[in-house]
Amino acid sequence: MLIRFDHPRMFDNLLQDFVVGDFTSAVKSFPAIDVAEHENEFVLLAEMPGVKKEDLKLTVENNALTLSGMRKPYEIPQDARVLLNEVRVREFSRSIEFPSDVEVDKIAAELQNGLLRVVLPKAERARVKRIEIQ
Amino acid sequence: MGNNGKEALMRKHSSALAKRTEPVERSITPVADIYETADAFVVKLDIPGATKDSISVSVEPGYLSAKGLVGPHHTEDANLLLGEIGRRSYFREFNLTEGINHKEVEAQFEDGVLTIRLPKTDEMKLKEIPIK
């Protein structure tokens, strides 16, 4: 392998940004994400193939959700011979800032079939309110 | 795009006309890892978001193919602020060497990764030769 990814964090970022940015579809430093807005909530989806629950961390701060974690290498038998290796095993991190306040205590996340689904209810004050006409 | 930089989502008009919906189906070649052990070949393909039912694997002498369909993920009322996933159609095929017991091929799907195990025929298996 040409580049090692065990550098201190900052240097790692530099490498990711400038060296292996978005060269091929197999090299992806950031998970692909969908964010859908609904009337009362946001739904975020992120592709996480091969990522275990315990290797994924979600944090939220000032309406920004950060997903970070690591895709670990497959456990293969010691005597195995690797014939093809396209899967990039490395750390990933991405922060998404939502356009309105979310109810931090009510965020729910599940990881299933390699897809992370996070539901972020909008804060009461950020919801669209219908005004009754007297 | 910096690793620690926050990406602020912009809200476009969410009127019916300007609403952003899920992108249409895209064909994707899933990334693969393949390794060989003494008694089998193992193929691993990334198909995040698929389910067991949406994946099919077919094998015949000399040929293996796998496909999977993913999505749609969102309901009709969704306004997509960021849409990088979309509906996806995954497909990949491989030529196989001789010496695979194609009747005993096994597939399993876990954490968005499809694992296909192709056992070797007895003649192909690595044998240790006893020294007399």
Residue B40 sits in a domain of what CATH number?
2.60.40.790
Residue B132 resides in a domain: no
**pTM for this model (two decimals):** 0.79
Above pLDDT 70, what percent of chain B? 89
Q: Which residue has the higher pLDDT, B117 or A129?
A: B117
Number of domains in chain B: 1
Cβ atoms within 10 Å of B86's Cβ, excluding its own: 20
Burial class (CB in 10 A: 0-12, 13-18, 19+), A114: buried
Q: How far is CA A48 from CA A25, A114, B7, in A?
A: 15, 5, 19
Element holding A85 (H helix, E strand): strand A81-85
pLDDT of A71 over the 70 cut? yes
Burial class (CB in 10 A: 0-12, 13-18, 19+), A100: middle
Q: What is the ipTM score, two decimals?
A: 0.82
Gap between the Cα atoms of B59 and B94, Å rounded: 10
| Structural domains of chain A in order of their starting residue, each with its CATH number | 29-126 (2.60.40.790)
Q: B97 is in which domain, residue-wise?
A: 26-73+81-119
pLDDT of residue A9: 38
Residue B46 resides in a domain: yes
> How many Cβ pairs within 8 Å bridge chains A and B?
150
Q: Which of residues 45-104 of B touch A (CB under 8 A)?
A: 46-51, 73-75, 77-86
How does residue A29 score in pLDDT terms, banded at 50, 70 and 90? low
Residue B88 resides in a domain: yes
Gap between the Cα atoms of A104 and A62, Å rounded: 9
Test mutation, B3, B36, B52, chain A, max A CBs within 10 A: B3
Residue B126 resides in a domain: no
